[in-house]
Amino acid sequence: MTQTETHLESTVGPGAWHDPGALRTLRILHRSGKLAAEYRAVPGLLSRMPQADLPAAGQLLSRLDPTEVRRHAPDVPVVSVAVTGHSTVAPVVAPLTAELARHGLLLEPKVAPYGAYVQDLMRPSDEALPQLTLCLLDAYTVFDDVTVPWRAEDVEAAARAKLSLLAGAVRAHQEAGRGLLVLNTVPLLRRFTHQLVDLRSRARLGAVWREFNRGLLSLADQHPSVVTVDLDPLVGEGVPAREPRTAQYARARLSDPLLAAYAREAAHVVRARLGRTRKVLVLDLDGTLWGGVLGEAGPHGIELGAGLRGEAFQDFQRTVRQLGSQGVLLAVSSKNDDGPVREVLKGHPAMVLREDDFVRVNANWKAKHDNLRDIADRLGLGLDSFVFVDDSLFECGLVAERLPDVAVVPVDEEPALHPSALLADGWFDLFELTEADLERAGRYRTEALRQEFREDVGSYQDYLEGLGIEVILRPPDESELARVSQLTLRTNQFHLATERLQVPQVADWTAHPGRHVIAVRALDRFGDHGLIGALFLRREGELLRIDNFVLSCRVFSRGIESACVAAVLDFARSTGASAVTGRYLPSPRNSAFSSFYADHGFAVLGGDGDDPDAVHFRHDLATVAPAPAHLRLDAAFGPFDAATDGHGDK
């Protein structure tokens, strides 16, 4: 722990949350020239910083040389972002720098010249592709093409023409394989609507504008690697769309507060792209899900349902249940006696959430951080998958201190503000909701039955044999491509090459001659695990390469990963391959599996010139170990095309 981190722990420990001195500390580090060296302490500082201070923090952080930061913190992930747009876009860099730094990421921006967005999107692919392109649009994207005097019909014609131009530019960007693109809807400004003096024309202009924004939103439906951030909800919450002076003199057509809010949304997109979406929401009870203290008021004395505050707590429960219906795992960590808690969850007439909505209820008098560890262990998930909500600043501070991987959301005594606090950071945002997401809670409840079975048998081998595991390997059908993509985006531990693939990239693998995507499914006596892994294989002459192997953390240590390797080796030998190679690309979260291939009979080859960061392994197929005896393996890789050249192409 650095001196700065030690200072942070002592000044923002349990009992504190927002630290008004955090910005001052950041400024001191900047003036002393130590900010790059202390970059690992920055996320902690920003997490305690009042929201109003983040833009100023971003100004300081954006002055850092990314190369200098990487020298001191080589493990900090770098996110390269190209920023372009219709007007001046440079002001978004500072807030985006701060928002990414909050999540432990380092921004490497490339800002385009004024108004160059169409050329930027249509430019052919170059060598140094950014991970993300932000294309900022504003009302002048349309109105700059409208001449005075104008009517609503003139704006309609300009909007249609601009939407057609944008659609072509986006298509060119995506067909060139230039990665993730973020657009935005455009607020309609009063300064334009009220230039029309008759109310019917204003209404017509509003309809025209909504159709333009609908077209921008539909581009995300047409292209899986396009995201359109809707700015209407931000403006609807009171964020000003425009500042007249900067709009006029600096051509910065979106206000600084709106750019800050947009930057937060864009950071959520980046986080989802890097597989950092959270999966588990752990909630306190007293003061969080209901008002009052259950141990003092009793089950019928808590604030819930009746009265204004009771209705507000009920509304927060509706928000939580909505998240749970989309695959977010819900759990409880409460300092309470278990019996009364169960009584409320089962029978209180005003409860929106019921006992069956939670995969785990820890109601006891243990420390909250110990309860969170217990929930993580029982679910088989890392703490970096957790979000914790509590109305006690002491408990929030203690969990943040003891479990820094957990995202902590403090709420206060005003329940009407609980939903906004929970949703502010988009912790559970993902690119596409799949059937596996909708079935997740049921599968984790089934996992609890497996845990009970494990506790009832003598040895771990007896447990494995009693599970009756079946592993099924098949090429995915079209409906499963989104799930395979999601596994590459969200899995961090057993992800041997840590390559994040969007649906079109997975589809390209399945269609490419000489390549195979193999979906891994598993089931046992307690139920169907679903699609829990994927192998990406590539044939090069007599070699079969495992380019990537990803497996859900909830099925670790049951022999499934060994069964997959055995199936690949059998497939290779049956199709005339002379050897199988495996590729391991180190990441901050997959180090536990660095020896996976070596443990399965592969010899270490080291790196190569084309892939210097990866470690390569080779299996000569002389002796192929069978799949573990406690499970049944059903593998069918599909037709094999041997007519490939050295790149796996015909």
CA dist 574 and 568 (Å) reads 10
- Sheet of 180-184: strand order equals 106-111, 78-85, 132-136, 180-184, 226-229
Of the candidates 534, 494, 499, the one whose C-alpha atom is nearest the C-alpha of residue 614 is 499
Going from the C-alpha of 269 to that of each of 227, 408, 429, the distances in angstroms are: 8, 20, 8
Name the DSSP class of 197: -
Question: Which pLDDT score is estimated for 452?
Answer: 83
Question: Do the Cβ atoms of 174 and 182 come closer than 8 Å?
Answer: no
3-state secondary structure of 155: helix
Beta strands in 67-223 (DSSP E): 78-85, 106-111, 132-136, 180-184
Question: Do the Cβ atoms of 437 and 327 come closer than 8 Å?
Answer: yes
CATH number of 77-273: 3.40.50.1110
Question: Do the Cβ atoms of 328 and 428 come closer than 8 Å?
Answer: yes
What kind and span of H or E run contains 42? Answer: helix 42-47
CA dist 635 and 518 (Å) reads 9
What's the fold here for domain 440-635? Aminopeptidase (3.40.630)
Beta strands in 405-452 (DSSP E): 407-410
Question: Which pLDDT score is estimated for 11?
Answer: 35
Of the candidates 630, 472, 482, 495, the one whose C-alpha atom is nearest the C-alpha of residue 553 is 495
pLDDT in tens, 517-538: 999 999 999 989 999 999 999 9
What residues pair up with 519 in beta bridges, in sequence order? 474, 534
3-state secondary structure of 537: strand
CA dist 322 and 438 (Å) reads 12
Tokens 């947009």 correspond to 262
Burial 401-410 (b: 16+ CB within 10 A, else e): bebeebbbbb
Tokens 């929106």 correspond to 352
Going from the C-alpha of 422 to that of each of 272, 323, 428, the distances in angstroms are: 17, 10, 10
Of the candidates 393, 391, 395, 396, the one whose C-alpha atom is nearest the C-alpha of residue 414 is 391
Question: Which pLDDT score is estimated for 17?
Answer: 63
Tokens 């796996």 correspond to 648
Question: Do the Cβ atoms of 465 and 409 come closer than 8 Å?
Answer: no
Outline which parts of the chain fall under CATH 3.40.50.1000: 280-423
| HSE toward the beta carbon, residue 181, CA cutoff 13 A | 33
| Residue 41 structure tokens | 């302490």
Q: Who contacts 485 (Cβ-Cβ below 8 Å, separation ≥6)?
A: 431, 432, 501, 502, 503, 505, 506
Question: Do the Cβ atoms of 568 and 624 come closer than 8 Å?
Answer: no
Question: Do the Cβ atoms of 145 and 162 come closer than 8 Å?
Answer: yes
Question: Which pLDDT score is estimated for 52?
Answer: 86
CA dist 409 and 387 (Å) reads 7
CA dist 184 and 262 (Å) reads 9
Strands 358-364 and 527-540: unpaired
Residue at 557: amino acid letter: S
Strands 106-111 and 78-85: parallel
CATH 3.40.50.300 fits 280-423, yes or no: no
Tokens 């902590």 correspond to 408
Residue 551: phi and psi, rounded to 5, are: -145, 135
Outline which parts of the chain fall under CATH 3.40.630.30: 440-635
Question: Which pLDDT score is estimated for 465?
Answer: 93
Going from the C-alpha of 119 to that of each of 109, 127, 308, the distances in angstroms are: 18, 17, 54
Question: Which pLDDT score is estimated for 353?
Answer: 96
pLDDT in tens, 576-609: 999 999 999 998 788 889 999 999 999 998 766 5
Q: Which residues of the chain have pLDDT under 70?
A: 1-17, 125-128, 607-610, 639-650
- Sheet of 407-410: strand order equals 358-364, 329-335, 280-283, 386-390, 407-410
Cα 243 to chain centroid distance, Å, stands at 32
Outline which parts of the chain fall under CATH 3.40.50.1110: 77-273
State the distance between the two ends of the chain, measured CA to CA, in whole angstroms: 54
Q: Who contacts 294 (Cβ-Cβ below 8 Å, separation ≥6)?
A: 285, 286, 302, 336, 340, 341, 344
Of the candidates 553, 643, 636, 545, the one whose C-alpha atom is nearest the C-alpha of residue 590 is 553
Residue 522 burial (10 A CB sphere; 0-12, 13-18, 19+):
buried
Beta strands in 371-431 (DSSP E): 386-390, 407-410
